Amino acid sequence: MFRRMWWTVIALCAAQFVLILDVVIINVAIPVIRSDLGLLDSRVSLTGTAYTLTFGSLLVVAGRAGDRLGRRALLLGGLALFVLASLLAGLSQVDWQLFTARALQGTGAALVSANALAAITASLPEGAERNRALGLWAAVGSAGAIAGQLVGGAVTEFLGWRWIFLINVPIGAAVVVALAVLMRRDADPVRRPLAFGASALLTGGLVSGVLALTWLAEDGVRTRAGLAALIAAVLLGTFVHAERRSAEPLLRLALLRLPGVRTANVTLLLNAGALGATMFFATLYLQVVLGHSAFAVGLAFAPITVVVLVISPRVAALTGRVGVRRPLTAGLVLLVAGALLLARAPVGGSYWADVLPGMLLLALGSALAFAPTFIAASIGVGPDDHGASSGLINSAQEIGAALGLATLALVANWATGPGAGPGALATGYRAGLIGAAACFALAAVVAATTPASLGKTREGAHT
């Protein structure tokens, strides 16, 4: 009989899929939203930033809050907030209403994502069963990031932009009910208060850092991006200093000395940044250079989503037999090859000959790399730190995506030069993709230094 725990894992993964989908789904709808709500060009980016800013900056605090206060209530409350905020976003009539709703969505998403992953790792011991659950988590997360293009294009074209938010309401409500029934109450949470000062320093530092990256991507090196980066450095530096002196730290720095946690966070930071930028450049190439519609571009990403969903859960079982290092390194090498293959796409290219082969390599690489990453992030983590560790790895994914896009977009803009024709744009995208390949390669080097035994299980060794 299918165990209650696995129904819970499926429901948690469904919630994560929707949360990650909402990071990307809005991209293809922005032109329509700008027209309908009369958004100023200077404020358009807030439709995406308001969500990613709160989501990415609150993950560690949300995870630690789950460790200390009990994660079931925080997870259900966060999901309810996300559903309510989605309804408000879909009903928005003016820009400030949409931006506020998106920020509330991000707050709810942080509470859900950090505590959902922690709930999986805390409820299953290290080994084959946990690996399978984390493989499913990795699959739906990476597939959600890719499928956002397809879902966003289809929903916007056939139902209207408001439904990219309203569709979350019935789905989210169903998941809330399912988790309320399936999730067991926290057995014995630590029930220690959160350090308000440390939480404020970390959240403020991450907010400033994400703003700096966003403004860097929009403006290049300008005053506001530099000032935000300086504030982030001061706040995060103060946070680290305070944490070293604290008897009850918000984020135990010893976590980063665990080989699995260290490898997972560094490689995912680089991987998420490079992959997000690669998908961005591929989208622009298809739309701007080749002239495909938003819906056609969404369909172009469908094969990648299928590959990731099919292969990634199976890689989790492989990891138990051979350890983290081999599939993670192999996946990152495939990602290097995929980005370089996409970089060869000419001005007069085609989807089938010049885009799909590279995308399939990216899909295979992602399927191989993401499951071992999340498995590594859970190895050796004690029960009191599951939430903090989960928040940390999710933060690496979100902030890495922002950092990669900001940096590689600057590289692409610099390479494009003053020209605005298809040839100049293709040159810029090519430079950005080569930069992404370099990031994947650096992540592969880090992965290759991982101990060979990390992630091997007794179950895996005898199957």
Distance (Å) of CA 365 to CA 20, 267, 391, 396: 19, 13, 24, 19
Q: Which region among 162-166, 295-299, 389-393, 431-435 has the lowest average model confidence (pLDDT)?
A: 295-299
Residue 461 has pLDDT above 50, yes or no: no
Rg (CA), the chain: 21
Torsion sign over Cα 144, 12, 332, 366: negative
Alpha-carbon dihedral of residues 153, 154, 155, 158, nearest 10 degrees?
120
User: Could you tell me the pTM of the whole model?
Assistant: 0.88
Residue-wise pLDDT tens digits, 374-384: 999 999 998 88
Of residues 308 and 110, more confidence is placed in 110
The predicted pLDDT at position 189 comes to: 54
Residue-wise pLDDT tens digits, 155-172: 888 899 999 999 999 999
The predicted pLDDT at position 462 comes to: 37
Residue 384 per-residue DSSP state = G
Residue-wise pLDDT tens digits, 259-273: 999 999 999 999 999
d(CA 330, CA 28): 32
Q: Which region among 35-39, 340-344, 398-402 has the lowest average model confidence (pLDDT)?
A: 398-402
Share of the chain above pLDDT 90, in %: 52
Closest CA to 84 of 58, 102, 70: 102
Kindly give the residue spans of alpha helices, DSSP state H, lying in 258-385.
259-284, 294-300, 302-322, 325-343, 356-378
Q: With DSSP H G I counted as helix, E B as strand and the rest as coil, what are the percentages for the chain, rounded to 5?
A: 80, 0, 20
Contact 212, 229 (CB under 8 A): yes
Residue in this structure with the two tokens 């949300």, named with its chain if needed: 62
Question: Counting beta carbons within 10 angstroms of the beta carbon of residue 45, is it exposed (0 to 12), middle (13 to 18) or buried (19 or more)?
Answer: middle
Residue in this structure with the two tokens 């939480």, named with its chain if needed: 199
Residue 353 has pLDDT above 90, yes or no: yes
Contact 380, 258 (CB under 8 A): yes
The predicted pLDDT at position 92 comes to: 96
Residue 459 has pLDDT above 60, yes or no: no
Contact 144, 17 (CB under 8 A): yes
The predicted pLDDT at position 192 comes to: 65
Contact 276, 145 (CB under 8 A): yes
Contact 273, 400 (CB under 8 A): yes
The predicted pLDDT at position 463 comes to: 36
d(CA 78, CA 118): 14
d(CA 362, CA 384): 36
